Structure 1
Amino acid sequence: MDTVDRRVLRRQMLADDVYEAIKTMLMDHVIRPGGRISIDGLAREFQVSSTPVREALARLESEGLAVKEPLKGYRATALLTLDEFDDLYRFRLLIEPWAARRAAELIDDEGRHRLQAELATAVEPTSVDYAGYKSLTVHDSRFHTLIAALSGSDQVRSAFERTHCHLHIFRLHYDRDIGPEVLTEHHALAAAIASGNPTAAESAMTTHLQNSMHHRLRKIYE
Protein backbone atom coordinates (compact mmCIF):
# COMPACT_ATOMS: atom_id res chain seq x y z
CA MET A 1 0.00 0.00 0.00
CA ASP A 2 1.56 3.33 -1.05
CA THR A 3 1.46 6.64 0.81
CA VAL A 4 -1.57 7.92 -1.09
CA ASP A 5 -3.55 4.75 -0.30
CA ARG A 6 -2.68 5.01 3.39
CA ARG A 7 -3.75 8.64 3.47
CA VAL A 8 -7.07 7.82 1.84
CA LEU A 9 -7.63 4.94 4.28
CA ARG A 10 -6.87 7.12 7.32
CA ARG A 11 -9.24 9.78 6.02
CA GLN A 12 -12.00 7.21 5.54
CA MET A 13 -11.47 5.79 9.02
CA LEU A 14 -11.67 9.30 10.49
CA ALA A 15 -14.87 10.04 8.57
CA ASP A 16 -16.41 6.77 9.75
CA ASP A 17 -15.48 7.48 13.38
CA VAL A 18 -17.04 10.95 13.23
CA TYR A 19 -20.15 9.54 11.56
CA GLU A 20 -20.60 6.90 14.28
CA ALA A 21 -20.03 9.46 17.04
CA ILE A 22 -22.63 11.90 15.69
CA LYS A 23 -25.06 9.07 14.98
CA THR A 24 -24.77 7.90 18.59
CA MET A 25 -25.43 11.45 19.80
CA LEU A 26 -28.58 11.57 17.66
CA MET A 27 -29.80 8.14 18.72
CA ASP A 28 -29.23 8.83 22.43
CA HIS A 29 -30.81 12.32 22.15
CA VAL A 30 -27.57 14.05 23.18
CA ILE A 31 -28.46 16.11 20.13
CA ARG A 32 -32.14 16.60 20.79
CA PRO A 33 -34.74 15.73 18.12
CA GLY A 34 -35.36 18.85 16.06
CA GLY A 35 -32.30 20.56 17.54
CA ARG A 36 -29.72 22.49 15.58
CA ILE A 37 -26.45 20.75 14.76
CA SER A 38 -23.35 22.93 14.94
CA ILE A 39 -20.71 21.80 12.46
CA ASP A 40 -18.06 24.02 14.03
CA GLY A 41 -19.05 22.90 17.52
CA LEU A 42 -18.78 19.21 16.63
CA ALA A 43 -15.47 19.78 14.86
CA ARG A 44 -14.08 21.39 18.02
CA GLU A 45 -15.48 18.62 20.22
CA PHE A 46 -13.94 15.86 18.08
CA GLN A 47 -10.78 17.89 17.37
CA VAL A 48 -11.13 17.48 13.62
CA SER A 49 -11.68 19.78 10.66
CA SER A 50 -15.19 20.55 9.48
CA THR A 51 -14.79 18.24 6.45
CA PRO A 52 -15.43 14.86 8.16
CA VAL A 53 -18.29 16.44 10.12
CA ARG A 54 -19.93 17.64 6.90
CA GLU A 55 -19.40 14.24 5.29
CA ALA A 56 -20.94 12.52 8.31
CA LEU A 57 -23.97 14.82 8.28
CA ALA A 58 -24.51 14.16 4.58
CA ARG A 59 -24.60 10.41 5.34
CA LEU A 60 -26.95 10.96 8.26
CA GLU A 61 -29.21 13.08 6.06
CA SER A 62 -29.47 10.17 3.61
CA GLU A 63 -30.61 7.99 6.54
CA GLY A 64 -33.24 10.48 7.60
CA LEU A 65 -31.54 11.36 10.88
CA ALA A 66 -30.52 14.90 9.92
CA VAL A 67 -32.09 17.58 7.74
CA LYS A 68 -30.22 20.30 5.85
CA GLU A 69 -32.06 23.60 5.68
CA PRO A 70 -31.08 26.33 3.19
CA LEU A 71 -29.03 29.11 4.83
CA LYS A 72 -29.53 27.52 8.25
CA GLY A 73 -27.43 24.36 8.22
CA TYR A 74 -28.36 21.01 9.75
CA ARG A 75 -30.80 20.02 12.44
CA ALA A 76 -31.73 16.66 13.92
CA THR A 77 -34.82 15.08 12.43
CA ALA A 78 -37.87 15.28 14.66
CA LEU A 79 -39.23 12.07 16.17
CA LEU A 80 -41.99 10.27 14.32
CA THR A 81 -45.46 11.48 15.14
CA LEU A 82 -48.17 8.91 15.87
CA ASP A 83 -49.57 9.35 12.35
CA GLU A 84 -46.10 8.88 10.83
CA PHE A 85 -45.51 5.81 12.99
CA ASP A 86 -48.82 4.25 11.92
CA ASP A 87 -48.09 5.11 8.29
CA LEU A 88 -44.67 3.45 8.50
CA TYR A 89 -46.13 0.24 9.90
CA ARG A 90 -49.01 0.17 7.44
CA PHE A 91 -46.42 0.35 4.68
CA ARG A 92 -44.35 -2.40 6.25
CA LEU A 93 -47.46 -4.58 6.57
CA LEU A 94 -48.07 -4.12 2.85
CA ILE A 95 -44.65 -5.23 1.65
CA GLU A 96 -42.98 -7.42 4.27
CA PRO A 97 -45.53 -10.23 4.67
CA TRP A 98 -45.53 -10.55 0.87
CA ALA A 99 -41.72 -10.60 0.90
CA ALA A 100 -41.71 -13.38 3.51
CA ARG A 101 -44.23 -15.41 1.49
CA ARG A 102 -42.20 -14.98 -1.69
CA ALA A 103 -38.95 -15.80 0.12
CA ALA A 104 -40.47 -19.09 1.30
CA GLU A 105 -41.53 -19.88 -2.26
CA LEU A 106 -38.02 -19.25 -3.60
CA ILE A 107 -35.91 -20.51 -0.69
CA ASP A 108 -32.90 -22.71 -1.46
CA ASP A 109 -29.94 -24.01 0.52
CA GLU A 110 -27.99 -20.79 0.08
CA GLY A 111 -30.94 -18.76 1.36
CA ARG A 112 -31.32 -21.05 4.38
CA HIS A 113 -27.63 -20.63 5.14
CA ARG A 114 -27.90 -16.84 4.93
CA LEU A 115 -30.86 -16.83 7.32
CA GLN A 116 -29.06 -19.02 9.86
CA ALA A 117 -25.87 -16.99 9.55
CA GLU A 118 -27.77 -13.79 10.29
CA LEU A 119 -29.59 -15.31 13.27
CA ALA A 120 -26.20 -16.34 14.66
CA THR A 121 -25.12 -12.68 14.81
CA ALA A 122 -27.99 -11.63 17.09
CA VAL A 123 -26.98 -10.43 20.55
CA GLU A 124 -29.39 -9.32 23.25
CA PRO A 125 -29.01 -5.70 24.45
CA THR A 126 -26.64 -5.10 27.35
CA SER A 127 -27.82 -1.61 28.33
CA VAL A 128 -30.61 0.84 27.54
CA ASP A 129 -28.62 3.16 25.31
CA TYR A 130 -27.51 3.01 21.69
CA ALA A 131 -24.18 1.38 22.54
CA GLY A 132 -25.94 -1.49 24.31
CA TYR A 133 -28.81 -1.81 21.88
CA LYS A 134 -26.94 -1.20 18.63
CA SER A 135 -26.12 -4.85 17.92
CA LEU A 136 -29.78 -5.90 18.10
CA THR A 137 -30.90 -2.91 16.03
CA VAL A 138 -28.32 -3.68 13.34
CA HIS A 139 -29.29 -7.37 13.33
CA ASP A 140 -32.99 -6.49 13.11
CA SER A 141 -32.35 -4.25 10.12
CA ARG A 142 -30.16 -6.82 8.36
CA PHE A 143 -32.64 -9.64 9.04
CA HIS A 144 -35.59 -7.79 7.53
CA THR A 145 -33.46 -6.55 4.62
CA LEU A 146 -32.33 -10.13 3.97
CA ILE A 147 -35.91 -11.38 3.80
CA ALA A 148 -36.74 -8.60 1.36
CA ALA A 149 -33.74 -9.63 -0.73
CA LEU A 150 -34.74 -13.32 -0.62
CA SER A 151 -38.10 -12.33 -2.10
CA GLY A 152 -36.25 -11.71 -5.35
CA SER A 153 -37.72 -8.23 -5.71
CA ASP A 154 -35.20 -5.40 -5.88
CA GLN A 155 -38.09 -2.92 -5.70
CA VAL A 156 -39.33 -4.33 -2.40
CA ARG A 157 -35.81 -4.48 -0.96
CA SER A 158 -35.07 -0.89 -2.01
CA ALA A 159 -38.42 0.36 -0.71
CA PHE A 160 -37.78 -1.24 2.67
CA GLU A 161 -34.22 0.08 2.92
CA ARG A 162 -35.34 3.62 2.13
CA THR A 163 -37.61 3.72 5.19
CA HIS A 164 -34.61 3.43 7.58
CA CYS A 165 -37.34 2.26 9.93
CA HIS A 166 -35.11 0.66 12.56
CA LEU A 167 -33.21 3.87 13.19
CA HIS A 168 -36.40 5.89 13.60
CA ILE A 169 -37.98 3.28 15.86
CA PHE A 170 -34.92 3.15 18.11
CA ARG A 171 -34.98 6.93 18.54
CA LEU A 172 -38.58 6.65 19.75
CA HIS A 173 -38.06 3.92 22.30
CA TYR A 174 -35.60 1.29 23.40
CA ASP A 175 -36.13 -1.37 26.00
CA ARG A 176 -33.70 -4.23 26.38
CA ASP A 177 -36.47 -6.41 27.83
CA ILE A 178 -37.96 -6.80 24.35
CA GLY A 179 -34.77 -8.34 22.97
CA PRO A 180 -35.58 -12.01 23.74
CA GLU A 181 -39.11 -11.60 22.38
CA VAL A 182 -37.89 -10.09 19.11
CA LEU A 183 -35.27 -12.79 18.64
CA THR A 184 -37.79 -15.57 19.34
CA GLU A 185 -40.03 -14.16 16.61
CA HIS A 186 -37.08 -13.90 14.23
CA HIS A 187 -36.28 -17.59 14.74
CA ALA A 188 -39.91 -18.56 14.12
CA LEU A 189 -40.02 -16.42 10.99
CA ALA A 190 -36.76 -17.83 9.65
CA ALA A 191 -37.97 -21.38 10.31
CA ALA A 192 -41.18 -20.76 8.37
CA ILE A 193 -39.26 -19.38 5.40
CA ALA A 194 -36.63 -22.13 5.53
CA SER A 195 -39.34 -24.81 5.54
CA GLY A 196 -40.71 -23.45 2.28
CA ASN A 197 -44.14 -22.77 3.77
CA PRO A 198 -45.37 -19.49 2.21
CA THR A 199 -48.54 -19.26 4.32
CA ALA A 200 -46.66 -19.77 7.58
CA ALA A 201 -43.97 -17.29 6.55
CA GLU A 202 -46.51 -14.61 5.66
CA SER A 203 -48.38 -15.19 8.92
CA ALA A 204 -45.18 -15.10 11.01
CA MET A 205 -44.11 -11.79 9.48
CA THR A 206 -47.55 -10.27 9.97
CA THR A 207 -47.60 -11.34 13.62
CA HIS A 208 -44.07 -10.02 14.16
CA LEU A 209 -44.90 -6.59 12.74
CA GLN A 210 -48.23 -6.36 14.54
CA ASN A 211 -46.58 -7.25 17.85
CA SER A 212 -44.03 -4.49 17.34
CA MET A 213 -46.68 -2.02 16.26
CA HIS A 214 -49.36 -2.65 18.86
CA HIS A 215 -47.65 -4.23 21.86
CA ARG A 216 -44.02 -3.10 21.92
CA LEU A 217 -43.99 0.39 20.43
CA ARG A 218 -47.34 2.09 19.98
CA LYS A 219 -47.84 2.35 23.74
CA ILE A 220 -45.15 5.04 23.90
CA TYR A 221 -47.68 7.47 22.43
CA GLU A 222 -50.29 6.74 25.10
Structure 2
Amino acid sequence: MASELESRLKGRVRAARRTVLTEDVYERVKSLIMDGDLEPGARVNIYAVARLLDVSQTPVREVLAALESEGLLTKEALRGYSVAPVLTSEQVADLYQLRLLLEPWAAAGAAGRITPEAAARLRAELGSQSRAPQGTRYEDYHDIVAHDARFHDLVAELSGSPALRASLQRTHSHLHLFRIEYEGRRSGEPTLAEHARIVEAVTAGDAGAAEQAMRDHLTAARDRFLHTPAG
Protein backbone atom coordinates (compact mmCIF):
# COMPACT_ATOMS: atom_id res chain seq x y z
CA MET A 1 0.00 0.00 0.00
CA ALA A 2 1.34 3.44 -0.92
CA SER A 3 2.23 5.72 1.97
CA GLU A 4 0.85 9.23 2.42
CA LEU A 5 4.20 10.58 1.19
CA GLU A 6 4.03 8.52 -2.01
CA SER A 7 0.37 9.37 -2.62
CA ARG A 8 1.04 13.12 -2.43
CA LEU A 9 4.29 13.28 -4.38
CA LYS A 10 4.41 10.33 -6.79
CA GLY A 11 4.67 11.69 -10.30
CA ARG A 12 5.96 15.07 -9.10
CA VAL A 13 9.39 13.78 -8.11
CA ARG A 14 11.69 12.26 -10.69
CA ALA A 15 13.49 9.03 -9.87
CA ALA A 16 17.06 9.47 -8.64
CA ARG A 17 19.84 8.91 -11.16
CA ARG A 18 21.80 5.70 -10.78
CA THR A 19 25.11 7.56 -11.14
CA VAL A 20 26.47 9.36 -8.07
CA LEU A 21 23.43 7.86 -6.42
CA THR A 22 23.83 8.99 -2.84
CA GLU A 23 24.51 12.59 -3.87
CA ASP A 24 21.45 12.60 -6.08
CA VAL A 25 19.21 11.11 -3.40
CA TYR A 26 20.54 13.75 -0.99
CA GLU A 27 19.59 16.57 -3.35
CA ARG A 28 16.16 15.08 -4.09
CA VAL A 29 15.23 14.69 -0.42
CA LYS A 30 16.70 18.04 0.54
CA SER A 31 14.69 19.69 -2.25
CA LEU A 32 11.48 18.21 -0.83
CA ILE A 33 12.31 19.75 2.55
CA MET A 34 13.55 23.12 1.34
CA ASP A 35 10.62 23.64 -1.05
CA GLY A 36 8.10 22.71 1.64
CA ASP A 37 6.80 19.56 -0.08
CA LEU A 38 7.74 17.87 3.19
CA GLU A 39 6.48 20.26 5.83
CA PRO A 40 7.99 20.74 9.30
CA GLY A 41 6.94 17.82 11.48
CA ALA A 42 6.21 15.50 8.54
CA ARG A 43 7.35 11.91 8.95
CA VAL A 44 10.07 10.79 6.53
CA ASN A 45 9.90 7.04 6.11
CA ILE A 46 13.00 5.30 4.71
CA TYR A 47 10.99 2.73 2.78
CA ALA A 48 8.60 5.31 1.33
CA VAL A 49 11.45 7.56 0.18
CA ALA A 50 13.23 4.60 -1.41
CA ARG A 51 10.10 3.68 -3.36
CA LEU A 52 9.41 7.30 -4.30
CA LEU A 53 12.88 7.75 -5.78
CA ASP A 54 13.12 4.19 -7.12
CA VAL A 55 16.31 3.36 -5.25
CA SER A 56 17.38 0.90 -2.59
CA GLN A 57 17.10 1.71 1.09
CA THR A 58 20.89 1.91 1.61
CA PRO A 59 21.51 5.37 0.07
CA VAL A 60 18.32 6.66 1.66
CA ARG A 61 19.54 5.62 5.13
CA GLU A 62 22.84 7.42 4.52
CA VAL A 63 21.10 10.54 3.27
CA LEU A 64 18.59 10.77 6.12
CA ALA A 65 21.43 10.41 8.63
CA ALA A 66 23.33 13.21 6.88
CA LEU A 67 20.29 15.48 6.87
CA GLU A 68 19.79 14.78 10.56
CA SER A 69 23.38 15.87 11.24
CA GLU A 70 22.67 19.11 9.34
CA GLY A 71 19.63 19.77 11.50
CA LEU A 72 17.09 19.43 8.71
CA LEU A 73 15.66 16.20 10.15
CA THR A 74 15.14 14.96 13.67
CA LYS A 75 15.08 11.33 14.78
CA GLU A 76 13.09 9.85 17.63
CA ALA A 77 13.18 6.32 19.01
CA LEU A 78 10.34 4.18 17.64
CA ARG A 79 9.15 7.03 15.38
CA GLY A 80 12.04 7.49 12.97
CA TYR A 81 12.78 10.67 11.05
CA SER A 82 10.71 13.84 10.84
CA VAL A 83 11.31 17.23 9.24
CA ALA A 84 12.73 19.58 11.86
CA PRO A 85 10.77 22.65 12.97
CA VAL A 86 11.45 25.91 11.15
CA LEU A 87 13.54 28.33 13.17
CA THR A 88 11.71 31.29 14.63
CA SER A 89 12.75 34.86 13.86
CA GLU A 90 14.17 35.11 17.37
CA GLN A 91 16.31 32.01 16.85
CA VAL A 92 17.59 33.35 13.52
CA ALA A 93 18.47 36.69 15.12
CA ASP A 94 20.31 34.84 17.88
CA LEU A 95 22.33 32.80 15.39
CA TYR A 96 23.27 35.92 13.47
CA GLN A 97 24.35 37.58 16.70
CA LEU A 98 26.73 34.67 17.24
CA ARG A 99 28.01 34.98 13.68
CA LEU A 100 28.55 38.71 14.16
CA LEU A 101 30.72 37.96 17.16
CA LEU A 102 32.81 35.35 15.36
CA GLU A 103 32.98 35.94 11.62
CA PRO A 104 34.30 39.53 11.50
CA TRP A 105 37.13 38.32 13.71
CA ALA A 106 37.65 35.39 11.35
CA ALA A 107 37.82 37.71 8.33
CA ALA A 108 40.37 39.90 10.09
CA GLY A 109 42.41 36.82 10.96
CA ALA A 110 42.27 35.58 7.38
CA ALA A 111 43.50 38.96 6.14
CA GLY A 112 46.37 38.87 8.60
CA ARG A 113 47.44 35.42 7.40
CA ILE A 114 46.79 35.89 3.68
CA THR A 115 49.10 34.19 1.19
CA PRO A 116 49.02 34.17 -2.63
CA GLU A 117 47.60 30.64 -2.52
CA ALA A 118 44.85 31.62 -0.06
CA ALA A 119 43.99 34.70 -2.11
CA ALA A 120 43.67 32.54 -5.22
CA ARG A 121 41.30 30.18 -3.40
CA LEU A 122 39.09 33.07 -2.29
CA ARG A 123 38.95 34.55 -5.79
CA ALA A 124 38.19 31.14 -7.28
CA GLU A 125 35.30 30.60 -4.86
CA LEU A 126 33.92 34.06 -5.60
CA GLY A 127 34.15 33.30 -9.32
CA SER A 128 32.33 29.99 -8.94
CA GLN A 129 29.01 31.84 -8.59
CA SER A 130 28.90 34.55 -11.20
CA ARG A 131 25.12 34.95 -11.49
CA ALA A 132 22.37 35.39 -8.93
CA PRO A 133 19.47 32.89 -9.02
CA GLN A 134 16.22 33.88 -10.69
CA GLY A 135 13.71 31.36 -9.32
CA THR A 136 12.39 30.57 -5.86
CA ARG A 137 12.59 26.77 -5.86
CA TYR A 138 15.50 25.03 -4.14
CA GLU A 139 16.85 23.84 -7.49
CA ASP A 140 17.04 27.50 -8.56
CA TYR A 141 18.92 28.89 -5.56
CA HIS A 142 20.80 25.70 -4.62
CA ASP A 143 24.07 26.88 -6.19
CA ILE A 144 24.24 30.17 -4.34
CA VAL A 145 23.37 28.49 -1.04
CA ALA A 146 26.23 26.04 -1.62
CA HIS A 147 28.56 28.90 -2.59
CA ASP A 148 27.61 30.87 0.52
CA ALA A 149 28.39 27.89 2.75
CA ARG A 150 31.74 27.26 1.01
CA PHE A 151 32.68 30.94 1.10
CA HIS A 152 32.11 31.43 4.81
CA ASP A 153 33.75 28.10 5.58
CA LEU A 154 36.81 29.11 3.56
CA VAL A 155 37.16 32.43 5.38
CA ALA A 156 36.89 30.56 8.70
CA GLU A 157 39.49 28.03 7.53
CA LEU A 158 41.89 30.80 6.48
CA SER A 159 41.50 32.44 9.89
CA GLY A 160 43.52 29.55 11.31
CA SER A 161 40.98 28.58 14.00
CA PRO A 162 39.60 25.04 13.64
CA ALA A 163 37.27 25.57 16.63
CA LEU A 164 35.71 28.66 15.06
CA ARG A 165 35.34 26.87 11.74
CA ALA A 166 33.51 23.92 13.33
CA SER A 167 31.19 26.24 15.25
CA LEU A 168 30.24 28.19 12.13
CA GLN A 169 29.58 25.03 10.12
CA ARG A 170 26.93 24.02 12.65
CA THR A 171 25.44 27.53 12.65
CA HIS A 172 25.12 27.63 8.87
CA SER A 173 23.33 24.28 8.80
CA HIS A 174 20.73 25.53 11.27
CA LEU A 175 20.00 28.57 9.11
CA HIS A 176 18.93 26.29 6.25
CA LEU A 177 15.75 25.61 8.20
CA PHE A 178 14.68 29.22 8.09
CA ARG A 179 14.95 29.25 4.28
CA ILE A 180 11.85 27.08 4.06
CA GLU A 181 9.72 30.14 4.86
CA TYR A 182 12.17 32.75 3.57
CA GLU A 183 10.67 34.80 0.75
CA GLY A 184 13.82 36.76 -0.01
CA ARG A 185 15.57 34.08 -2.05
CA ARG A 186 16.19 36.59 -4.83
CA SER A 187 18.81 38.30 -2.63
CA GLY A 188 21.67 36.70 -4.57
CA GLU A 189 22.97 39.90 -6.16
CA PRO A 190 23.64 41.76 -2.90
CA THR A 191 25.13 38.60 -1.38
CA LEU A 192 27.63 38.25 -4.23
CA ALA A 193 28.51 41.94 -4.10
CA GLU A 194 29.10 41.72 -0.35
CA HIS A 195 31.26 38.63 -0.79
CA ALA A 196 33.31 40.52 -3.38
CA ARG A 197 34.02 43.32 -0.88
CA ILE A 198 35.13 40.78 1.72
CA VAL A 199 37.46 39.11 -0.78
CA GLU A 200 38.92 42.47 -1.80
CA ALA A 201 39.72 43.38 1.82
CA VAL A 202 41.03 39.95 2.85
CA THR A 203 43.25 39.51 -0.21
CA ALA A 204 44.64 43.02 0.33
CA GLY A 205 45.67 41.96 3.83
CA ASP A 206 43.60 44.77 5.36
CA ALA A 207 42.33 43.24 8.61
CA GLY A 208 40.25 46.27 9.62
CA ALA A 209 38.49 46.51 6.26
CA ALA A 210 37.93 42.74 6.17
CA GLU A 211 36.37 42.80 9.63
CA GLN A 212 34.05 45.66 8.66
CA ALA A 213 33.11 44.11 5.30
CA MET A 214 32.12 40.87 7.00
CA ARG A 215 30.15 42.72 9.67
CA ASP A 216 28.31 44.73 7.01
CA HIS A 217 27.53 41.55 5.05
CA LEU A 218 26.17 39.64 8.03
CA THR A 219 24.07 42.60 9.20
CA ALA A 220 22.56 42.98 5.74
CA ALA A 221 21.98 39.22 5.41
CA ARG A 222 20.27 39.12 8.80
CA ASP A 223 18.01 42.00 7.84
CA ARG A 224 17.13 40.35 4.53
CA PHE A 225 16.23 37.17 6.36
CA LEU A 226 14.09 38.98 8.89
CA HIS A 227 12.61 41.52 6.44
CA THR A 228 13.73 44.49 8.51
CA PRO A 229 15.29 47.69 7.19
CA ALA A 230 19.09 47.73 7.15
CA GLY A 231 20.86 50.27 9.34
Give the structure-2-normalised TM-score. Answer: 0.85
Q: Which residue of 1 aligns with 2:83?
A: 76
CA shift digits 1:159-200 (9 cap, x unpaired): 111221452343231534311111111101110111111111
Counterparts of 2:56 and 2:118, CA distance in 1? 44
Distance 2:192 2:178 in 1: 17
CA distance in 1, matches of 2:55, 2:40: 24
Q: Does 1:153 align with 2:161?
A: yes
The SS at the match of 2:55 is coil
CA 54–211 in structure 1, closer or farther in 2 if over 3 Å, else same: same
2:114 to 75, 99, 107: 107
SS at match of 1:107: coil
1:46-91: CA deviation from partner (whole Å, max 9, x where unpaired): 1223222221100110111111111111000111012211111111
Partner of 2:100: 93
RMSD over aligned CA atoms reads 1.8
Structure 2 Cα separation of the partners of residues 175 and 219 of structure 1: 8
Which residue, out of 25, 32, 39, partners 1:25?
32
User: In the TM superposition, what whole-angstrom CA distance separates every residue of 1:84-126 from its partner, at most 9, and x where no partner exists?
Assistant: 1111111111110100011111111111101100011013103
The count of corresponding residues between Structure 1 and Structure 2 is 210
Q: Is the 8 A contact 2:135 2:186 kept in 1?
A: no
Whole-angstrom distance in 2 between the partners of 1:12 and 1:58: 20
Query: Take 1:50 and 1:14, find their aligned partners in 2: how far apart are those partners?
Result: 12
Task: Give the secondary structure class of the aligned counterpart of 1:30.
Answer: coil
Matched residue type, 1:17: D
Normalised by the length of structure 1, the TM-score is 0.89
Q: What is residue 132 of structure 2 aligned with on the other side?
A: 124
Instruction: Report SS of the residue matched to 2:187.
Output: helix
Q: Structure 2 CA distance, aligned partners of 1:31 and 1:148?
A: 32
Say whether 1:135 aligns with 2:143: yes
Match in the other structure for 1:210: 219
- Counterpart of 1:197 (choices 192, 206, 225) is 206
Which consecutive segments of 4 or more residues in structure 1 shift more than 6 A? none
Q: Which runs of 5+ in 2 are unaligned?
A: 1-16
Identify the residue that residue 14 of structure 2 maps to in structure 1: none
Distance, in Å, in 2 between the alignment partners of 1:110 and 1:103 is: 12
**Greater fraction of residues in helix:** 1
- Identify if the C-alpha distance between structure 1 residues 24 and 192 changes in structure 2 by more than 3 Å, giving closer, same or farther: same
